A and B are shown apart, each in its own frame.
Chain A
């Protein structure tokens, strides 16, 4: 077990494209760190640099106390689970799992013991003699995990391991990965573009955009206090509503004609500063007409999700989505009155996208 430290890690490709622009953070021993971001944000490149599959242009990657910039992937004491599983098609499940150990000269009895152990944990004991092509997607995924487990590495690296599975299996494997990581206590780095996976798996969430880290924190923290408009709209489904507004210098934000209160707002902002106001679809309460602070919301259509409903419409002339538990509101189009909790109003700088909240 070991902690992983990244220190101003950069990746510049031949031709001058900067895929990763100086990223620093560390993952504590046994931590589960998820790198999330849209495709092309550099998250996979960063993971591959930790794995040793990409050279590091500048900065340092350390596993434990050892800087591994110049260490071969095989000697970094890591194991990786690939998106397409990358199982050796011509080897049986047993051989797939044993291959890495055999290359290291692990004694035969030890290999057998470890493979059997891993197979038991993953419930693939009955599949050991099969070839990868005879397995379903979920089973292949387990074998890929098994290949990582038998190595007893210091760090697990996951490169979008669930993206090839169907929705139901993905949820199931997600839970299993989390359980497994907890019981083994191995430091893990997990790359995904799926914000649900990111939220549920991580105990350290790193949101990346365009080669840079946008925010690092606990998933709940990132959700509650997004550091930028990008994070606010990337994390959460449906995404946060962003509306143009202006501040009056006293913690009041105007959205066109309507006015809402925002408690978490920097006080030094000059009046008339234009801002962007973020409201999560579920942070909106139904009110009655004429209630203090209530805003008119014109519902245009309603999406039924089962437990909840999504109301699409216009607030102050801007597109807006509201989420409410089914049955709370009569599902009909037309005007609704809503109130907003001043604690849950997010305000962003429209130019830089950074949060204008109190420190």
Chain B
């Protein structure tokens, strides 16, 4: 029996290792490519270990910018991406937690109708309604602004749905105890419901931050100035297909940098996730 388990463990490790290698290899390759000079990357014989150009490449892309295609330093684009992703994530959480609270706890006329209208927007993502949305943003003079980047992506049925499901699992007795303890609707929301929703909020934040960070089509449409570009667009612009030579080492460095904030968010929020899983707060 003991032998058997060891063998099973070994097989599991082998499979896991293969899986990790498959996932990690492209990332490693990207990193390695970002530490060599253009010639080494281009000639097709790039070594699989990091080269000596790490500081030079990253310094150049972060603070000076790629000379050929995008003239802006990447640090500014990272800031744009960060502002947009944060605005989308926080805005979505704010709006969906409030609308879910209204739908679950208030008995107003056409409550279910309101809920279903929110629900139906799940079928209308930005891509489907992109022209009217662009028209509105442009009429409101929000092209090339952070508002224009973030607000149309904030409306979200997913978040409302998620919070609604969570609120419905909160026992009614808690609301009643709050009433007797003299907490009004807002106090109940602030003192009881929000603290209990912390893990749900963290989950939604991670998902929505990455969603916002990865946006491509919408920022491409509403930004025309280089200074308002997001980093995802920058990567695309650096990879030129026509008459110019792609500076692969810089494109790879940008890709590495673009990966960094989502990874940091996941790592930071992971602790809240685990806490939410281990200690059930209900």
Contact = CB atoms under 8 A, between A and B. Distances in A.
A74 B182 contact: yes
Contacts of A79: 180
Contacts of B180: 51-53, 73-74, 78-80, 100
Interface in B238-282: 279-282
B204 interface: no
B183 A73 contact: no
Contact of B177 (A75, A78, A82, A133): A82
A99 B280 contact: no
Contacts of A85: 173
A104 interface: yes
B171 A86 contact: yes
Contact of A86 (B174, B191, B196, B280): B174
B176 A74 contact: no
A238 interface: no
A90 B187 CA distance: 15
B101 to A, nearest CB: 17
B181 A90 contact: no
A82 B173 contact: yes
A317 interface: no
B182 A88 contact: no
A103 interface: yes
B125 interface: no
Given A89-B281, A133-B279, A133-B281, A53 B176 contact: yes
Contacts, number: 62
B177 A80 contact: yes
Question: Chain B: interface secondary structure?
Answer: helix
Contacts of A7: none
A84 interface: yes
Interface in A132-155: 133, 147
A104 B176 contact: no
Contacts of A86: 171, 173-174, 176-177
Interface in B154-185: 171, 173-174, 176-177, 179-183
A274 interface: no
Contacts of B182: 74-75, 100, 103-104
Interface in A211-227: none
A74 B179 contact: yes
B176 A90 contact: no
A195 interface: no
Contact of A99 (B173, B191, B279): B191
A74 B177 CA distance: 10
Contacts of B47: none
Contacts of B171: 84, 86
Interface in B124-175: 171, 173-174
Contacts of B174: 86, 88
Interface in B14-51: none
Given A84-B171, A89-B282, A103 B183 contact: yes
Nearest to A104: B182
Interface string A63-93: 0000000001111001110111111111000
Nearest to A85: B173
B188 to A, nearest CB: 10
Contacts of B281: 89-90, 133
B181 A53 contact: no
B245 to A, nearest CB: 58
Residue among B177, B179, B187, B282 facing the most chain A CB atoms (10 A cut-off): B177
Contact of A73 (B179, B196, B280): B179
B192 interface: yes
Residue among B173, B182, B191, B279 facing the most chain A CB atoms (10 A cut-off): B182
Contacts of A87: 177
A90 B195 contact: yes
B64 to A, nearest CB: 49
Contacts of A74: 179-183
A147 B173 CA distance: 14
Given A74-B179, A74-B182, A89-B196, A133 B280 contact: yes
A76 to B, nearest CB: 8
Nearest to B176: A53
B275 to A, nearest CB: 12
- Closest CB pairs A-B (n = 8): A74-B182, A100-B181, A86-B173, A103-B182, A86-B177, A90-B195, A82-B173, A73-B179
Given A53-B176, A89-B281, 13 more contacts: A51-B180, A53-B179, A73-B179, A74-B180, A78-B180, A82-B173, A89-B196, A89-B282, A90-B196, A100-B181, A103-B181, A147-B177, A147-B181
